[in-house]
Amino acid sequence: MSQARGYAVKSATSRFEPFSFPRREPGERDVQIEIAYCGICHSDIHQARNEWKNSTYPMVPGHEIVGRVSKVGSKVSKFKAGDIAGVGCMVDSCRRCPNCKQNLEQHCLLHASLTYNGTEQDGKTPTYGGYCSHIVVDEAFALKVSPKLPLERAAPLLCAGITTYSPLKRWKIGPGARVGVMGLGGLGHMAVKNAAAMGAEVTVLSRSKSKQADAKRLGAADFALTTEAATAKKLAGRLDLIVDTVSADHDVNGALGFLKTGGTLVLVGAPPSPLSLSAFSLIGGRKNLSGSVIGGIAETQEMLDFCADKGVLCDVEVTSIRDLERAYERTLKGDVRYRFVIDLKTLA
């Protein structure tokens, strides 16, 4: 065992504090990654504060991890010491259920081992995330990160990148498609970049006019204020797909009216309270309401390669691990463009 140094919360109301915990020595198929950067996902806040009512403590959050491989097991073939690697939202799965066999490990039917606030495949060893010095993971759940990418901007691709890339691929978005992105935050700005890189015409749907200039800079062709009555007429029946990234309570009924006949609104944000939905919003025009969560390991690697090829990167603000409380507060206020990333050198 080695001792990892990180920061943890001990309860839903406690502040982050230094925390040391054991990591296993790399097994024959494991890699050890010295973490350089870890993004702060909105789900980290939900989990740390037990807003989804499934949190266990002490908790070391973080599932947008990039760093350098320092050790490899004797049977590892995918990595060598010195390689750059990433870890996303999972560190293992059962690998034998129908979903796992279809590269849908995120939907493992038996037990997906989440990177934090979960357990290893033994069902009892707690998992701790990336707000720390290093992580040990089976090579099958580690991702190759192009050395030409700036690591601090690549880290959030491991969640924000794949969370928005996956539904765009599933609905075969490409040139000629019209995509709406609801919300322009950590997830939303990556949805805009990914959809635009795929050749789609992107419209940002927002409640804040202050986001308009950024929407265009990020690649959107259009911007619409959902608070204006004229938007409903302007966008009625226009969009093929809406990627809804909002993690707070909001109205989806109006947005469903922006879809073409047979169009889809896919939820990737996770509000803590149930959304209100009128059946008539779906019946008229046989609209579809769907959901999506990250992607499997193969699709995540595909996304990383796509982003390296297209130059798609997260807009980030690098912060110290000692400023986690302030970063969380600013994230909740929407006061970051567009993702906080922790520089783990600040652990020293």
Domain total in the chain: 2
Q: Which two tokens stand for residue 346?
A: 């600040």
What's the pLDDT at 248?
86
Over residues 143-150, the mean pLDDT reads: 95
Domain assignment present for 301:
no
Portion of the chain with pLDDT greater than 70, in percent: 100
| Pair (233, 329) in one structural domain | no
- 23-76 tens-digit pLDDT: 999 999 999 999 999 999 999 999 999 999 999 999 999 999 999 999 999 999
- Phi, psi at 280, each rounded to 5°: -65, -25
Taking 90 as the threshold, does the pLDDT of residue 122 lie above it? yes
The CATH number that applies at residue 230 is: 3.40.50.720
| Pair (126, 76) in one structural domain | yes
Taking 90 as the threshold, does the pLDDT of residue 335 lie above it? yes
| Pair (173, 131) in one structural domain | no
* Distances 78 to 86, 116, 142, 207 between C-alpha atoms, Å: 13, 24, 9, 45
What's the pLDDT at 221?
98
| Pair (141, 248) in one structural domain | no
The residue range of the domain holding 260 is 161-291
| Pair (172, 287) in one structural domain | yes
The CATH number that applies at residue 149 is: 3.90.180.10
Q: For all residues of the chain together, what is the average pLDDT?
A: 96
Alpha-carbon torsion 107, 113, 119, 121, what sign? Answer: positive
Domain assignment present for 250:
yes
Taking 90 as the threshold, does the pLDDT of residue 246 lie above it? yes
| Pair (123, 145) in one structural domain | yes
Q: How confident is the model at residue 218 (pLDDT cuts 50, 70, 90)?
A: very high
Domain assignment present for 299:
no
Three-state DSSP state, 22: strand
| Pair (153, 169) in one structural domain | no
Taking 90 as the threshold, does the pLDDT of residue 165 lie above it? yes
Q: How confident is the model at residue 326 (pLDDT cuts 50, 70, 90)?
A: very high
| Pair (17, 7) in one structural domain | yes
* Distances 122 to 60, 103, 119, 298 between C-alpha atoms, Å: 19, 21, 7, 24
Domain assignment present for 297:
no
Q: How confident is the model at residue 273 (pLDDT cuts 50, 70, 90)?
A: confident
Portion of the chain with pLDDT greater than 90, in percent: 95
Taking 90 as the threshold, does the pLDDT of residue 319 lie above it? yes
| Pair (15, 105) in one structural domain | yes
Tally of CB atoms within 10 A around 13: 9
Domain assignment present for 303:
no
Q: How confident is the model at residue 98 (pLDDT cuts 50, 70, 90)?
A: very high
| Pair (136, 207) in one structural domain | no
Cα gap 138→49, rounded to integer Å:
29
Over residues 325-339, the mean pLDDT reads: 95
For the chain, the first-to-last Cα distance in angstroms comes to: 20
Taking 90 as the threshold, does the pLDDT of residue 283 lie above it? yes
| Pair (111, 260) in one structural domain | no
What's the pLDDT at 170?
98
What's the pLDDT at 339?
97
| Pair (154, 170) in one structural domain | no
Domain assignment present for 329:
yes
